[in-house]
Amino acid sequence: MTDTSEERGRDPIAAKNEKWKENGVALRAFFYIFGTHLFAGFVWLLFLLGKHAEK
Q: What pTM does this model have?
A: 0.60
Q: Which residues of the chain have pLDDT under 70?
A: 1-10
Question: Which pLDDT score, from 0 to 100, does residue 9 have?
Answer: 65
Question: Which pLDDT score, from 0 to 100, does residue 3 have?
Answer: 56
15: buried, middle or exposed (CB in 10 Å: 19+, 13-18, 0-12)? middle
